[in-house]
Structures are given as C-alpha cells and as structure tokens.
Structure 1
Amino acid sequence: MTRVFIDGAAGTTGLEIESRLTGRPEFDLVRLDDAHRKDAGARRDALNAADVVILCLPDDAAREAVALIDNPATRVIDASTAHRTAKGWTFGFPELVGRDIVAQAKRVSNPGCYSTGFIALVAPLVRASLIGGGARLSCYAVSGYSGGGKAMIAEFESGAAPTAWRTYALSLAHKHVPEMLRHSGLTHAPLFAPSVAATHRGMIVDIPLFGVDAAKARDTLSWFYEGSKIVRVREFDEANLTIEHMAGRDGLELFVFGNAEGTQCRLVAALDNLGKGASGAAVQSLNLMAGLPEETGLRV
C-alpha cells in the first residue's frame, strides 16, 4: 500500500485529488486535522512519512515544502507552476515523456491545464514536422472559473462577477507560457490569449493554423495517441463544441477541423480544467508511480 500525503488538501485541486483516492485500497492517505494543517513540525513529519507527496500549494509554498523533505524515499508530485521547467523534475505528461519515465521519477511536475491542451496538440505535430519548430503560433482558450481558485470561485458563485466572460493575461505573460514553449518543441513562445467563462468547470484550447493539412494532422495525432485510454482523437459533427464537453471527466479529447481547400485548420482540445488539467493528471502520474494502470480510479 502506498502512503500518500496531499499538502494543500483543503484547496480545490487537493479536494479533487482526495475524492479520486478515497476508498481506494491501493493508497493510505496521510491526513492532518485543521489544528495541525499549518503546523510546520506536523507538516514536516507528514511530508517525510509519505511514499508520495502531492503538493497542491502556491508556488513559493511548494518550493518550501520540497525543502522540508529529507527522506530520500519520499517522491513528489507538484501541482503548482513552481517546477514545470525546473531541472531534475519530470514533466507529468506520460503520453509525451513516456509512462516508464513517469513511473520511475522521484520528482514529477503536474502540467498546467491550458498547457495540457496546447502541448497535446502541438508536440506530436512538431515531432512529425507538420508544424515547424520555428512556427509562431497563437492559442485561444477558455476555462471554467474553478481554475482561478477560491477567490474567483467565490466571486462567480456569489454573483459578484460583473460579466459572464472575461479575457485576461493581456500582458502576454501568462504563467503557463514557459512550459508551453519548453514541452511543445517550439523555439518561439506562442501568443496565448486565455479567458474565463461563467461555468464551474471545463476547458477548450484552440490553435488556428495556416498551411497545415487537417487530415494529415488528425492522422498524426491519432497515431501518436493510439491505445491511450485517457487521450483520444475524436470526430465531431455538431455545429458547436462547448466548454463543458469534458466537464466531470479525466480524459482529454482532441479535434482537428479544416476547410475544404486544405489551407486552414483548427486544432482543438477539450478537457476538464480540474480533471486532466489538474487533479486527474496528478492521479494518473500517481498510479504509474505506484505500479498501477494509469487510468485506475479516473473518470475517463
């Protein structure tokens, strides 16, 4: 049995991870009560007593937690942004970096929600030379408000949010861009335009392309993810693909739409920002690190 400590279990991501692990006989959850949750000594003990620690913390707190670990046997999955491009950390996207690599890793950094969709679409096409490594891409995306944490959730659910949709990161410096660049195989950072909608969960990531044949792109993605029980390439005949398409599920669905002339296409990823975009991805890596099938306990 694998002992797991979720540091930050009271947050949105931590609660979602705990819900996927509760009742599973493969895992023994190490819990701290409210009186000890912020006690440095109790946290240190829990961090070092666990076989696997999952960090659901702000970036600085995640770095501090890693520094508290002195047990060489303790392995870490970090759901924050802190280590996604850090040396010595494995990027927790098994479909791209290799399932065996994640299974053997000591330090795993969970991908961001937006970057999961972007990298899943772009990296296989760069590897196949359908997209040049030097391409300058734009990426448009919309997420449910749960991705903004407790403050944004409270704003939308209290009715205080002034609008049903907003764009943000207008400085073009969103925290997911470095990992999107590092793990996609591109040499130029994408122009990333994220937004948030008045729905609790769900996500669409959309990348428009010129000069890429949609059929070839779809075939390449289908080949790359063949056999995956979590990432699937789908056909879609409806007029609209909604943000809630994958809400409540831990899978990732990829679509390629093209014009009749074969000169334009749109790469689209649909996922749950709290599923494959956060908690589901952490549990997928945890399963592999525990020697289990990666989809165990997930809502695929």
Structure 2
Amino acid sequence: MSSPLVFIDGDQGTTGLQIHERLRDRSDLTVVTLSAAERKNFTRRAEAINACDIAILCLPDAAAREAVGAIVNPAVRVIDASSAHRTQPDWTYGFPEMTPRQAERIANASRVTNPGCYPTGAVGLLRPLLQAGLMPDNYPVSIYAVSGYSGRGRAGVEEYEGQGATQAPSYQVYGLELAHKHPPEIQQYAGLAQRPVFVPAYGAFRQGIVLTVALDLRLLAPDVDGATLHACLARHYADAAHVQVMPLFESSTLKYLDPQVLNGTDDMRLSVFANIEHGHVLLAAVFDNLGKGASGAAVQNLDLMLTRQSR
C-alpha cells in the first residue's frame, strides 16, 4: 500500500515552512510541494490538490477559499491553517483536546480548520469552565495576549530580523479598533453568549505566547474560587498529551510568565492564579505560537486524520 500523499499549499510562510520541516523526513507519508514557478499557477495547484490524499493549506484566507473551491476529487481531505473556515459549521475545529470526542471527530473529518494561535489559548482556558457551569456564558470576558513577532508571518520576521530591525518596537499593542478576526472564533468555541474583548500584542522575540483572562469572583457563583476553576481545568485535561495544567502550589510560587518557555514544543501550559483577598483570578496559557498555535497543531491533526487513512 502506497504512503499517503500530503500536499502543502503555501510552504514558504512561517507556518508552512515549519510543517514542511516536520514532515519531510517521515517515512509514513509522501510530502508534495510546488516549485516557485508553479505556486502562482492555479491550474497546477488545482491538479496537485486533487491528486493528494490530504492537503494542508498555509495560505491567506482568500487563497484558501480558492483552493478549497478547486477540489473536485471527493476523496481529498483538507487541513486549513488559515482563518477562512474557522467558524464554518461544515468544518471540524482542529483542537483535539477541546472535548472528549474532538480527536475522534478530527480523525474522521474531511475538512478540518486549524485553530488560530490566540484562540487555542482562550478556548483552552474558557470552554471547560463554561461547559461545567462555573462561568456564565454572558460573563464580560476580556483577553490580553502577547505573541512573538512570527505571529505576523513573514512580514513580522522581516520587521524584526530584516534590515530595519533596529527600528522595530520592543512591544506593540495592536488591534486597537477592537475588530480583530479572532473574537468570533473564540466566542463560538468557548461557548460565550457575547463577543469577548480581545487585546493582542507583539513582543521583540520570535515565537511564544502568553495569554491571560482576568476574572472577578463576584461575578461568579458564591462557591466558585480559584481552586474550583483549577480543579475543573485539571479534570478536563487529565489525559491530554499536549495540554498541561500547572499545579496550584507551583503557580503560587511563580513571579512571572515567560512566553518563550515552551518554544520548540507542541505543548500548552495552563495556570490559575488567585488573590483571595481581592476576589480576583487570573487564567493564563503559555505555548509556542508556531507549535501548538500553528504548525504543531496542524501536524497533530494530520496524524489523527492519518489513523483513518490507514484503516
């Protein structure tokens, strides 16, 4: 039996390059890419995507929609790393740890949409708490996050590593119009009744994310505290291979969160910090924006989908 053909469409961006790097030496599949001369040839791209078993799209949104529209072979399965299909009901959300059966859904899906990097942390923190009824779905959620500059793709890498790198700011908050593309995705998969406030930033480091959500316990049920929230997350991710919940005694000793501590891994670490006196809790997620937040997640989903392909 021949090995599955995996076509990476858009293997020159930050996500696509890392996916290609992760897959190129594997013996259980065959990676297909296009030459520089072919990448802008729609006919050649359409031929490639219809000849593969699984296509991984690392493209701008419009190009991802165009690629999917070119598929006429019903056997072709797709992992879309863009945001083009993340809230579409006929696409499976590629966050295997989100629910007990999500990995199975991904394994059997023909269309999988990779989560956004920031939503991976936000949904990972919020959904178990909302699902357990520990937070009301109308809680006024505000999310603050900082990512490495690779989160901007090649433009971010060029700004910080190119000729004008000395002029790049050490820290920049963006999305000031509060109309970022991630809140609808976060709202849908976290189970929120209303759009969350989302304030992202870039730091002067290549990759890594710290994402935080502050909670006021006065807005939760009287018996909910930091320990309750932590126990819920710990139960939800008890058997997860790539999501860990830091024990409360460990988080209580931390003085800061390093966004780069999990770089080079496909893991995400969740933490709960509580101030009993003031009734405040801080939820935090740390992970590599190019690992669990992008390329690593795509490969994790690919491996799940290949389990069905090999049957």
TM-score, structure 1 as length reference:
0.95
Q: Which of 182, 194, 214 is 2:226 aligned to?
A: 214
Q: Which residue of 2 aligns with 1:156?
A: 160
Alpha-carbon shift at residue 262 of structure 1 (Å): 7.4
Describe how 1:114-153 pairs up with structure 2 within 5 A: 114-153=118-157
Q: Which residue of 1 aligns with 2:50?
A: 48
Q: Which of 3, 6, 9 is 2:8 aligned to?
A: 6
Q: Which residue of 2 aligns with 1:298?
A: none
Tell which deviates more after alignment, 235-244 or 172-181: 235-244
Query: C-alpha distance in 1, partners of 2:167/2:118?
Result: 22
Q: Which residue of 2 aligns with 1:28?
A: 30
1:213 touches 1:262 (CA, 8 Å); kept in 2? no
Counterpart amino acid of 1:132? P
Q: Which residue of 2 aligns with 1:264?
A: 280
Q: Which of 303, 307, 310 is 1:287 aligned to?
A: 303
1:248 correspondence with 2:264: yes
What secondary structure does 1:96 align onto? coil
Q: Which residue of 2 aligns with 1:94?
A: 96
Counterpart amino acid of 1:256? V
Q: Which of 170, 176, 179 is 2:176 aligned to?
A: 170
1:177 touches 1:190 (CA, 8 Å); kept in 2? yes
Q: Which of 205, 213, 216 is 1:199 aligned to?
A: 205
Query: C-alpha distance in 2, partners of 1:280/1:27?
Result: 17
Counterpart amino acid of 2:66? E
Q: Which residue of 2 aligns with 1:297?
A: none
Alpha-carbon shift at residue 260 of structure 1 (Å): 3.1
Offset from partner CA, 1:234-262 (integer Å, 9 cap, x none): 13323111111211111111000001337
Alpha-carbon shift at residue 164 of structure 1 (Å): 0.1
1:17 touches 1:283 (CA, 8 Å); kept in 2? yes
1:182 correspondence with 2:198: no
Offset from partner CA, 1:120-170 (integer Å, 9 cap, x none): 000000001111111111110000000001112101113154410000000
Question: Structure 2 stretches of 5 or more lacking a match?
Answer: 218-223
Offset from partner CA, 1:36-70 (integer Å, 9 cap, x none): 12222211111011110000000000000001111
2:159 touches 2:168 (CA, 8 Å); kept in 1? no
What secondary structure does 1:179 align onto? helix
Pairwise CA RMSD = 1.2
1:224 correspondence with 2:236: yes
Alpha-carbon shift at residue 203 of structure 1 (Å): 0.2
TM-score, structure 2 as length reference:
0.91
Offset from partner CA, 1:5-59 (integer Å, 9 cap, x none): 0000111100111111121111110122222122222111110111100000000
Counterpart amino acid of 2:25? G
Which 4+ stretches in 1 moved above 6 angstroms? Answer: none
Alpha-carbon shift at residue 230 of structure 1 (Å): 0.4
Counterpart amino acid of 1:255? S
Tell which deviates more after alignment, 22-31 or 274-283: 22-31
Counterpart amino acid of 1:61? A
1:278 correspondence with 2:294: yes
Query: C-alpha distance in 1, partners of 2:84/2:90?
Result: 13
Query: C-alpha distance in 1, partners of 2:66/2:42?
Result: 11
Query: C-alpha distance in 2, partners of 1:10/1:186?
Result: 35
1:139 touches 1:205 (CA, 8 Å); kept in 2? yes
Alpha-carbon shift at residue 183 of structure 1 (Å): 0.4
> Matched residue pairs, number?
292
What secondary structure does 1:238 align onto? coil
Question: Structure 1 stretches of 5 or more lacking a match?
Answer: 293-300
What secondary structure does 1:153 align onto? helix
| Identical-residue share of aligned pairs (%) | 46
1:71 correspondence with 2:67: no
Q: Which residue of 2 aligns with 1:295?
A: none
